[in-house]
Structure 1
Amino acid sequence: MDSLTLPATGRTPGVFFDFAGGHLRMTGESYPDDVAGFFGPVFESLRDFLDRPDGGAIRFDMELLYFNSSSAKALMNIFQMLETVARGGRPVTVTWCVEENDESMRELGEDFAEDLRHVVFQMRELPAGGAP
């Protein structure tokens, strides 16, 4: 599979994984009724991609405006998968996009970054209410 695209809904994020290009992106808000049901296929596709022996650099743009605690656990699982391949030598960059003045999301990004030693983690500020 060269890509995974799940359009955003009122409760689930948009998922745009271009595996062929090594560009992963999540947008919107994440508070699905069935977290396992939503994130299960995302994890499976991501695992298949990360297990490829010919993998190149990965860029993950995280553009979530809000997520609940169950989604935070799912995101941590994704970051742990990325950390594992980065530890093995594959270049991984995560860009955490946060709206200006959104200190809560900035702090959450900083919390995730603390657990990543091999992934390059960068913060990108967006205009409030704006797109990247």
Structure 2
Amino acid sequence: MENLMIAATERSPEVEFDFAAGRLSLKGESYPEDASTVFGPIFAALERFLEQVEGRDVRFDFNLIYFNSSSAKALMNMFQLLDGAAERGVKIEVNWFYAPDDETMQEFGEDFSEDLEHVTFNLVATGD
């Protein structure tokens, strides 16, 4: 499967999906005017990957410094896809990075983690 690499824009995050290595990441800010345009290709690639991944560990790093409500909905949908794959036996680890002084992003990570039953979810305070 071909990797998905999308450069960050002023309003959308950097996407680095290295499917062969099982390493996925979103980084930056996410407040696009049309979330479906930004997240559509990401969901499509993630769904295809999760349908065929077997015998590999998957790590998904979320290093977002800001996102809006439509991005939060997209993230929740992404977490549900990951949790569903983990329920089927795929070992998935999510790392939610946040600055130590950013209580809002820490709380978002805590909230997202509460909805996941099968994914290993790590809250990671960065040194920045």
How far is 1:85 from its partner?
A: 0.6
- Where does the alignment leave 5 or more consecutive residues of structure 1 unmatched? none
Deviations 1:9-51, CA, capped at 9 Å, x for gaps:
1100000000110000000000011100110000000011011
State the partner residue of 1:37.
37
**Total equivalences in the alignment:** 128
How far is 1:53 from its partner?
A: 5.2
State the partner residue of 2:68.
68
Q: Structure 2: how far apart are the matches of 1:116 and 1:96?
A: 13
What secondary structure, in the 3-state scheme, does the structure 1 residue paired with 2:112 have? helix
Deviations 1:54-110, CA, capped at 9 Å, x for gaps:
351110000000000000000001100000010111100000000011000000000
If the length of structure 2 is used for normalisation, what is the TM-score? 0.97
State the partner residue of 2:11.
11
RMSD between aligned alpha carbons?
1.0
State the partner residue of 1:28.
28
Q: Percent identity?
A: 50
If the length of structure 1 is used for normalisation, what is the TM-score? 0.94
How far is 1:2 from its partner?
A: 2.8
**Which consecutive aligned stretches of 4+ in structure 1 deviate over 2 angstroms post-superposition?**
none
